[in-house]
Structure 1
Amino acid sequence: MHRECMSELRRTDLILLLVAVVWGSSYLSAQTATSALPVLLVLFARYALSALVCLGLVAFGRGPRRWTREELRVGVPLGVTQVAVLVVETYGVAHTSAANAGLIISLTIVLTPLLDRGGRHGRGGGLPPVFFAAAGVCVLAVGLLMSGNGFHAPRLGDLLMLGAALVRAVHVALVGRLTVGRAIRPLHLTTVQTLVGTALFLPTGVAGLPTLARADSGTWTQLVYLALFCSVFAFLVQTWAVQRTSASRASLLLGTEPVWAMAVGIALGGERLTALTALGAALMVGGTYWGQAVERAHRTAAGVRHETDVQDDPDALPEPDVRDRATTATGV
């Protein structure tokens, strides 16, 4: 029995690691696609393909096929914020290296607790000072990544990815606030988001259909990869895997995404790794892991204190038992 459990755990770990690799490779795929097609047209194709697959999974899957009011009420605004994230990210990837994009977006890990209700203003009080030290390491890392071969004015793409990290952190915090304690099915929520994105990009998509039809097979391969693997597959597999392991363990494995983004960019994209960018990459990965560990320990301690207070006060109402969320970056 023990061997079976360990085998299942290793299998789950490998699947989560695969998700991290897929998300890490998404930056180079998006960069390749946007070099052949306009950014908004790439996003339309990605959303439309993802929506078709999600609708098919809902139609032929088990359980009720109809969406609840809660799923629609939450899915629409989250669909809008997700579109905002992908627009800024994709424009950023088009103007910087895939390695830099994957590393800078990982700032989401330390930005999210600052915006999340459970971080500064939630139970347990503000985050400990050591968390801000970790955030400072990440800020220094961003400066080094932006420097490239030497210190100069930041590139447009790097600034856009910095903005994307902030927008993604807002989106992740909003996901937590809107979904905690509510019976929302991940597939149905994802489907609503993809439909919202498809609708928002529809005017651009209709105007660009002739251009899309003339795209070569290589471009279409990137679009299908972004839609099916980096969106639908990665999200559903992540949800499946997190249900079979701890969210903390999942976040550590998914947190390797920037490493894979850098590796794919160098190995397949022909990008160069200078001494400054290598130091920035090391500081970014180390800083995000450090900040993530500090925030997780702080939240766990706050939860223990809350449970003690509830036991000591019979009139206190316990908060919903919510699984720890892994606030990792999720590709482009």
Structure 2
Amino acid sequence: MQTFFSSLEGRWRLVGALAIVYIVWGTTYYALGVAMRSLPPVLMNGVRFLAAGAVMLTLAQWRGQAWPSPRQWAGCAWIGALMAFAAMALVVLAQHQGIGSGLMATVVTTMPMWLALWTRLGGERVPGTSWVGLALGALGAGLLALEGDFGATPLGALLAFAAPLCWSVGSYASRRLTLPAPAMAAGAQWIIGGAIGVLVAWVAEPGARSVDWAAVTPASWLAWAYLVVMGTLVTLNCYLWLLQRTTVALAGSYSFVNPLVALAVGVWLGGERLTGWVFVAMPLILAGLALIMYGPALVGVHHGLRRWRQRFRGRPQPAGASGSSAP
């Protein structure tokens, strides 16, 4: 009985962690839009990761994780610059240019397709199903570029498609570079990426030096706090927990759900409008993503079923068993 309840508790934890990753990460795109209403985008994002990185480094030290070596700091710097700074800055700038939050979330699902390409170029074997998925995703991304928001803001479209490109390069680098323990690595990457964002905003972002903090709306502050606490600290830790407790495919399945959540929130709360192209492009992108993540397993299941059917058909039939009945 105790084993049963322990198993049930474990399943509820798994379901809860998946629900947080599915829903919270799907809502962060809308929260970014709210935060940017009265905060400079790049500065807002930089301070977000500075704050989250400081908290994560403190937690990592409290857990007794070793401080990064100089080589590990260098690896964290590369990844933080690509992911916490470049990719996220491109996301907020694309939305600032008028790309809807739901549409932005859909574009971000192309990231695993870029990652598959870098993996192959790096000399690793990529299954054939991943190449089919890559082709489907590229077709979907091309159709997505016909969506109304992209046509109205070409610069926003360029920024939107560049964001998952930077994130994929950072993700691939994280597999090749020497890094500290996960919590320490995340904290170091965030705090470096956040510091770069603040510096770039201070030097180049209009209005970053002269923010009227009294004019920042409560909604923007709440959205920013939501991004720091829920969008970064809570949800990323849930994702890391899932990677340790379940398969990579199940943990990464948030990529299928986040765009649907983001589209629903954007239309419901943000009044965003979508044309027909997103509804043509999204199934192609999601199908491509499914082939990249689950393709080899699906092929294995198909071969297993085919072998089972061959064995079944090859069995000798019992006497009297035939397709026609006796007169």
Residue matched to 2:274: 273
Please report how far the alpha carbon of residue 186 of structure 1 lies from its aligned counterpart in structure 2 after TM superposition: 1.3
1:196 equivalenced with 2:196 (yes/no) = no
CA–CA distance in structure 1, aligned partners of residues 43 and 146 of structure 2: 31
Give 1:170 shift. Answer: 0.7
Q: Distance in 1 between matches of 2:170 and 2:239?
A: 18
Contact 1:104 1:165 in 2 (8 A): yes
Aligned length: 291
2:309 corresponding residue in structure 1: none
Larger-Rg structure: 2
Shift of residue 108, structure 1, vs aligned partner: 0.5
Counterpart position of 1:325: none
Q: Distance in 1 between matches of 2:246 and 2:149?
A: 43
What secondary structure is seen at the aligned counterpart in 1 of 2:94? helix
Q: Which residue of 2 aligns with 1:216?
A: 217
1:316 is aligned to none
**Cα distance between partner residues in 2 of 1:248 and 1:133:** 18
In structure 2, the partner of 1:261 is 262
1:178 — aligned with what? 177
| DSSP 3-state at the match of 1:35 | coil
Number of the residue aligned with 2:287: 286
Deviation at 1:107, TM superposition (A): 0.3
Is the deviation greater in 286-295 or in 144-153?
A: 144-153
TM-score (norm 1): 0.77
Per the TM alignment, residue 16 of structure 1 is displaced from its structure 2 partner at its CA by 2.1
Structure 2: runs of 5+ lacking an equivalent: 300-327
1:256-301, CA deviations, whole angstroms, 9 ceiling, x for partnerless residues?
Answer: 2222222221222111233322222222222212222226779xxx
Q: Give the superposition deviation at 1:74.
A: 2.0
Distance 2:94 2:297 in 1: 30
Give me the whole-angstrom Cα distance separating, in 2, the residues matched to 1:175 and 1:297: 27
1 CA distance for matches of 2:122 and 2:197? 36
Q: Per-residue deviation at 1:197?
A: 2.3
* Residues in 2 aligned to 1:168 and 1:66: alpha-carbon distance in whole angstroms: 25
Residue ranges of structure 1 left out of the alignment (5+ in a row): 299-332
- Seen in structure 2, the aligned counterparts of structure 1 residues 246 and 2 have a Cα distance that, compared at 3 Å, is farther
* Structure-2 change in CA distance of 1:150 and 1:106 (3 Å): closer
Structure 1 residue aligned with 2:46? 44
Conserved 8 A contact 1:76-1:196: yes
| 1:81-120 Cα shifts (integer Å, max 9, x gaps) | 221111212211222011110001110011101102xx45
Conserved 8 A contact 2:79-2:171: no
4+ runs deviating over 4 angstroms: 149-154, 295-298
Out of 103, 107, 119, the residue aligned to residue 104 of structure 1 is: 107
The residue number in structure 2 matching 1:307 is: none
TM-score by length of 2: 0.78
CA distance in 2, matches of 1:151, 1:43: 23
8 Å contact from structure 2 (residues 65, 181) kept in 1: no
